[in-house]
Amino acid sequence: MKHALHSVVFALFLASTAALADDMPTYKLTMKDGRFYPETLEVPALTRFRLEVKNEGPGATEFESLELKKELVLAPGVTRNLVFYPMKPGTYKFFDDFHPETGQGRIVAK
Amino acid sequence: MGNAFFVVWRESLEAFLIAGILYAWLKANDDSGQGRRALFLGLAAGAGLAMLLGWALLTVQDELTGEALDMFQTATLFVAAGLITQMVLWMHKHGRQMKARLHADLAAAAEKSGHLGVAVVAALAVAREGAETVIFLYGMAQEGDLSALLLGALAGFAGAGATAWLAAKSLARLNIGLLLRLSSILLLVLASALLISAIDRLLGAGWLPPLLDPVWDSSALLDDGTKAGKLIADFSGYRARPALTSLLAWATYWGVVIFAWRRSGRG
């Protein structure tokens, strides 16, 4: 029963991400040498968007933002997507939890 | 090397702290030593699980694995938060009877309901933090300079152990009543922080609506994006810009815990 419920939830989740995947603006973010490129991302406010995060290494990185409620560990050479829900205009910080000194960036929603 | 030290120290600290506080708390509660054996078994199992998870994350890197692992991590957060809370409340309830009843009775009861919980909590704490450490170290190992990396990682690991040992030691120096109370509160605070991270993950994945986000912004006072702020956020569940859903979850958690605590204290 528990397993069945889990599968249903998972299938719904996959279906919803697949449905969303097509008509969303996508922004690219590269993590390299402990830094973000670009460090400031401008996105439209109140719009759902996708962020394609790529870790070009060397070393593993962790894209994290407590205020955006995102946490993503990336082994070197890995690319993964994050979907952001519509945000109010403002500045939102994110950081690389494995390189907190140099890896600081922000999303500016306008 | 400094970075390896800090990351490993921080990633290991939560697991070590949970283990250390559980150890101090078991020492006061459980004479037989079985609980402590369960704790060490759990820690070992967690280390194995962490390596397995890290290996899975490294080898199968497609979207699906990433999401499945994210869900697994979210689930472990909920389970760990629930188990820690249940154990603390259970002990609170039965700790009172300990004085009145025969020790044998309690030991038998603790064995049934307590030890598996201790082992599972320890395993989950290690597995969750450990998987990230495995990936981090793997990545660092590809950068070259292995000896500096190894030194930093080992120092970080030892540092986390020492930090938790000091915490457990200074707890154990208190009298039993105070120790029980303080370690129980610390474990509950840690459990509430785990719950908030789990809620954050659900909000971030869009599974839960944030309702109102943020409710306030206290990042000028204490910014959770900095090293120290993040550390406090990880252990207390503090958020500089909390969503209403997180606040409600936090308030509900403490409401239920305080209610159950009072009721079990009376009964």
DSSP designation for B72 = H
Q: Over 70: is that where the pLDDT of A1 sits?
A: no
Neighbours of A58 (CB within 10 A): 17
Which pLDDT score, from 0 to 100, does residue B9 have?
Answer: 92
- On the 0-12 / 13-18 / 19+ scale of CB atoms within 10 A, A99 is buried
Cis peptide before B214 (omega within 30 of 0): yes
Cis omega (within 30 of 0) on the bond before B209?
no
* pTM for the structure as a whole: 0.85
Among the partner residues B135, B143, B203, nearest to A69 by beta-carbon distance: B203
In sequence order, what DSSP letters do the residues of B207-240 get, joined into one string?
SS--SSS-S---TTTS-TTSHHHHHHHHHH---S
Residue B228 backbone dihedrals phi, psi, to 5 degrees: -70, -40
How far apart CA B114 and CA B25 sit, in angstroms, is: 12
Interface test mutation site (partner B, options A2, A39, A64, A69, max chain B beta carbons within 10 A):
A69
What does the block give as tokens for B214? 């943020």
User: For residue B132, which residues of chain A lie inside 8 Å, CB to CB?
Assistant: 62, 73
pLDDT at B99 over 80: no
Highest mean pLDDT pick, A75-89, B59-73, B248-262: B248-262
Average pLDDT over residues B70-96: 84
Q: Which residues of B touch A (CB under 8 A)?
A: 3, 6-7, 57-58, 61, 63, 66-68, 71, 132, 135-136, 138-140, 142-143, 200-201, 203-207, 210, 214, 219, 224-227, 230, 233, 239-241, 243
The minimal CB distance from A93 to the residues B138, B143, B225 is found for B225
- Say if CB A23 and CB A50 are below 8 A apart: no
Q: Please report residues of A whose CB lies closer than 8 A to that of B210.
A: 69, 85
Distance of alpha carbon A57 from its chain centroid, rounded?
A: 17
The answer to whether residue B188 scores a pLDDT higher than 90 is yes
Size of interface A-B (CB pairs under 8 A): 89
Q: Is pLDDT of A13 > 90?
A: no
In this predicted model, what pLDDT tens digit does every residue of B213-228 receive, in sequence order?
889 999 889 988 788 8
Nearest-angstrom CA–CA distance, B111 and B99: 18
Identify the closest residue of chain A to B70 by CA–CA distance.
A72
Give the residue with greater pLDDT, B44 vs B53: B44
How many Å apart are CA A91 and CA A109, to the nearest integer? 6
Helix (H) or strand (E) holding B179: helix B176-204
Interface check A46 vs B, CB under 8 A: no
> Strand A26-32 vs strand A49-57: parallel, antiparallel, or unpaired?
parallel
Average pLDDT over residues B17-32: 77
Q: Which of B47-61, B71-85, B123-137, B231-245 has the lowest mean pLDDT?
A: B47-61
**How confident is the model over A78-107, as a mean pLDDT?**
90
Contact A55, A76 (CB under 8 A): yes
What is the overall mean pLDDT for chain A? 84
Among A67, A70, A82, A87, most B C-beta atoms within 10 A, so best to mutate, is A67
- Residue B196: band (very low, low, confident or very high) from pLDDT cuts 50, 70, 90: very high
Q: pLDDT at residue B60 above 90?
A: no
Give the pLDDT score at B174. 81
Residue A77 φ/ψ region, left for φ over 0, alpha for ψ in the -120 to 50 degree band, beta for the rest: left
What ipTM was assigned to the predicted interfaces of this complex? 0.80
Q: Which helix (H) or strand (E) holds A107?
A: strand A104-109
What is the biggest distance separating any 2 CA atoms in chain A, rounded to whole angstroms?
47
Q: What is the pLDDT of residue B159?
A: 94
pLDDT of residue B263: 86
Distance from CA of A67 to the nearest CA of B (A): 6
- Asked if A71's CB is within 8 angstroms of B139's CB, the reply is no
Three-class secondary structure of residue A42 per DSSP: strand
Peptide bond into A86 cis (omega under 30): no
Alpha-carbon distances of A96 from A32, A93, B105, rounded to whole Å: 10, 11, 51
The answer to whether the beta carbons of residues A51 and A74 sit under 8 Å apart is: no
DSSP assignments along B97-160, one per residue: HHHHS-HHHHHHHHHHHTHHHHHHHHHHHHHHHHHHHHHHHHHHHTTS-HHHHHHHHHHHHHHH
Instruction: Please report the pLDDT score of residue B102 as a whole number.
Output: 47
